[in-house]
A and B are shown apart, each in its own frame.
Chain A
Amino acid sequence: MLRVEDTEQAPVEFSAALIAKFDDIKSRYPEGKQKSALLPILHETQAEFGWLSAPSMDKVAAYLDILPIEVYEVATFYTMYFMRPQGKYVLEVCRTGPCCLVGAEKIMDYIEQQLGVKEGEVTPDGLFSWRGVECLAACGFGPVLQIGPEYTFYENLTTQSVDTLIADLKAKANN
């Protein structure tokens, strides 16, 4: 949910490299249909900043020559866009039926216990947050989780593989 106080946020700068990515995306659509670029551009923006602040969405609106509300209404509709800061690594665990048949709920409990934060919260070191998400289309390889912005999949999860994953990510962050 986008709240009024969230609009009081630090301004952001879009790098030339990011704008070049935007330009490439925009070229995929017919003249005058640049609004089609909105979803992919929001993914690029989130990959750069970790979430979508109101100033970043306003800049996207200006870039696409559309109203800010057209960006907000899209960003809040789709589940992949974060409306507040997240951990560096967001563990998104599938919580839908088929994964639950093979133990997804236990995996979520275990992740909560290992990270020591509730769903949606960020660990004090800023490294991790986690949440349950709906079906990730990997039901035959459940339980599964994904980590953006590359959305790498981790399949057939066990408590041991979760331990390894968290340890690897910590090591990666400290390098």
Chain B
Amino acid sequence: MGRKLLLEHINVPGINTLEVYRQKGGYAAVEKALKTLTPDEVVEEVKKSGLRGRGGAGFPTGMKWSFLAKPEGVPRYLVCNADESEPGTFKDRYLMTYIPHLLIEGMIVASYALGANTSYIYVRGEMMPQIRILERAIAEAKNAGLLGKNILGTGYDLELYVQPGGGAYICGEETALLESLEGKRGNPRIKPPFPAIAGLYGCPTVVNNVESIAAVVPIINEGGDEYAKIGIGRSTGTKLISASGNLNKPGVYEIELGVPVEEFIYSDEYCGGIANGKRLKAVVAGGSSVPILPANLILKTINNEARLMSYESLSDGGFATGSMMGSGGFIAFDEDQCIVRNTWNFSRFYHHESCGQCSPCREGTGWMEKVLHRLEYGHGKMSDMDLLVDVSKKIEGNTICPLGDAAAWPVASAIRHFRDEFEWHVTNAAEATTRNYGLAHYADPLPKVEKAEA
């Protein structure tokens, strides 16, 4: 069993209340940080931990914190990005639902480290139940003197508020999130200036994912060096993986980074194999934006090494034969799934969610959706695959924010790895509307798992 740093107590009855959370050692990190460490020492521990942003970009959190400008007389802000909307990702919703105080504790410690006296948790508007849960937890913490003026008698003040979004994937991009928090449309800002210099209300701001902020709690409790011992190489600590699709046990799993992908999919400790005794066809390992990989390439790298659940191993081989850790949204496709249909579905998502600011993304996502739609519905042409790759290349890298890249990668990678399936949709157009292409040669090399007799 891997170590659990975030979800260890998730099944304890009443862990969503302050009382039980404290009985289980909750708010020890606040006590330790505020009473025994300076803000800079907290930043130092996070740097030592090697924690990398859990929202998708994987940028070292401690380094991001150290970039924060500290001009005299200007407020600084910490904003938690709880706008979880990347298809395949649902770990933050889970964490906020069941153990809200972990996020609040992390927010207090992180705000203290950054010198913020007002912090916001920007939660996607659809998570109204989670917003109510967080508001209740904040009220509890405030009553206990863990928020508000002079926290635990240390002289540190912090007000913490929850802000609902309005239903827009783009607000997961940090500058779009800040625009939204200022009451505007979620159009990403041109960078620089980065939020660390000019963020919320033009003031220095750090935006961190829910899981990143929660991870600060065990980092402070155990020390950054101890945290860094968990995991593998530069992928330190534990990571929440949202497992969905055709799995026996979909759900949220906390893994020590470095678990083999094969173990993650097939072992009973995690996903328990592919549902209904089917075989694995493909995996999107890090949320819909990252390249899709056929079963053989997700289980083993091109050098025939076991692929691991780590930032480095998942991206091994680059985009030619690898993918990315992203936000940890692990989507498994069984042999009955149609790659063309799924790619069309994802394209529709990005077209729908493009903010419309940059022409390549606004127009290109729509073109890709249309071309994929005609392929899926039997009106495609052999030239469509090259057309799609061409459009995706013209979006990638040519937009203000990474939504353009996120829209381009799933299409380009699907054609890279599953081109014969796309071509079959053209050559066998009528048949393709009645049945799926099937497993073809993408099959995972593992034999069908026979269920052991009980």
A residues bordering B, Cβ < 8 Å? 28, 30, 33, 35-40, 42-43, 64, 66, 70, 73-74, 77-81, 95-98, 100-102, 133-142, 146, 148-153
B61 within 8 A of A: no
Q: Determine if A35 and B182 form an interchain contact, defined as CB atoms under 8 angstroms apart.
A: yes
A55: shortest Cβ distance to chain B, in Å? 20
Grouping DSSP codes into helix (H, G, I), strand (E, B) and loop, the B interface class, with mixed when no group exceeds half, is mixed
Q: Determine if B245 and A40 form an interchain contact, defined as CB atoms under 8 angstroms apart.
A: no
Q: Determine if A150 and B166 form an interchain contact, defined as CB atoms under 8 angstroms apart.
A: no
Cα-based distance from A47 to B250 in the complex (angstroms):
33
Identify which of B118, B125, B159, B355 contacts A80 (C-beta below 8 A): B125
What are 24 A-B contacts defined by CB distance under 8 Å? A33-B201, A35-B184, A36-B163, A39-B125, A39-B164, A43-B164, A43-B166, A77-B185, A77-B355, A78-B168, A79-B166, A95-B345, A97-B88, A97-B288, A98-B331, A101-B331, A133-B167, A134-B349, A137-B126, A138-B90, A140-B243, A140-B251, A142-B244, A151-B127
Number of A-B residue pairs having CB atoms within 8 Å of each other in the complex: 154
Closest residue of B by beta carbon distance from A71: B183
Nearest 6 A/B pairs, CB to CB? A78-B166, A139-B244, A80-B167, A38-B183, A35-B183, A151-B128
Closest residue of A by beta carbon distance from B410: A97
B50 within 8 A of A: no
Q: Determine if B165 and A78 form an interchain contact, defined as CB atoms under 8 angstroms apart.
A: yes
What 0/1 readout, one digit per residue, does chain B (352-371) give for beta carbons within 8 Å of chain A? 11010000000000000000
Identify which of B93, B128, B246 contacts A138 (C-beta below 8 A): B93
Given contacts A36-B183, A40-B163, A153-B129, 13 further A-B contacts (CB under 8 A): A43-B166, A77-B168, A77-B186, A78-B186, A80-B166, A97-B87, A97-B288, A101-B246, A134-B85, A137-B92, A139-B87, A142-B244, A152-B129
A106: shortest Cβ distance to chain B, in Å? 14
Q: Determine if B242 and A135 form an interchain contact, defined as CB atoms under 8 angstroms apart.
A: no
Q: Determine if B87 and A149 form an interchain contact, defined as CB atoms under 8 angstroms apart.
A: no
Cα-based distance from A153 to B128 in the complex (angstroms):
10
Residues of B within 8 A of A64 (CB): 183
B221 within 8 A of A: no
What 0/1 readout, one digit per residue, does chain B (51-87) give for beta carbons within 8 Å of chain A? 0000000000000000000000001000000001111
Identify which of B84, B92, B201, B346 contacts A30 (C-beta below 8 A): B201
Closest residue of B by beta carbon distance from A135: B87
B354: shortest Cβ distance to chain A, in Å? 12
Question: Given that A35-B182, A151-B126 are contacting pairs, would A139 and B329 also be in contact in the complex, using a CB cutoff of 8 Å?
Answer: yes
Identify which of A36, A39, A98, A146 contacts B126 (C-beta below 8 A): A146
Residues of A within 8 A of B166 (CB): 39, 42-43, 74, 77-81
Q: Determine if A78 and B167 form an interchain contact, defined as CB atoms under 8 angstroms apart.
A: yes
Closest residue of B by beta carbon distance from A152: B129
Closest residue of A by beta carbon distance from B329: A139
Q: Determine if B182 and A134 form an interchain contact, defined as CB atoms under 8 angstroms apart.
A: no
Identify which of B201, B284, B345 contacts A100 (C-beta below 8 A): B345
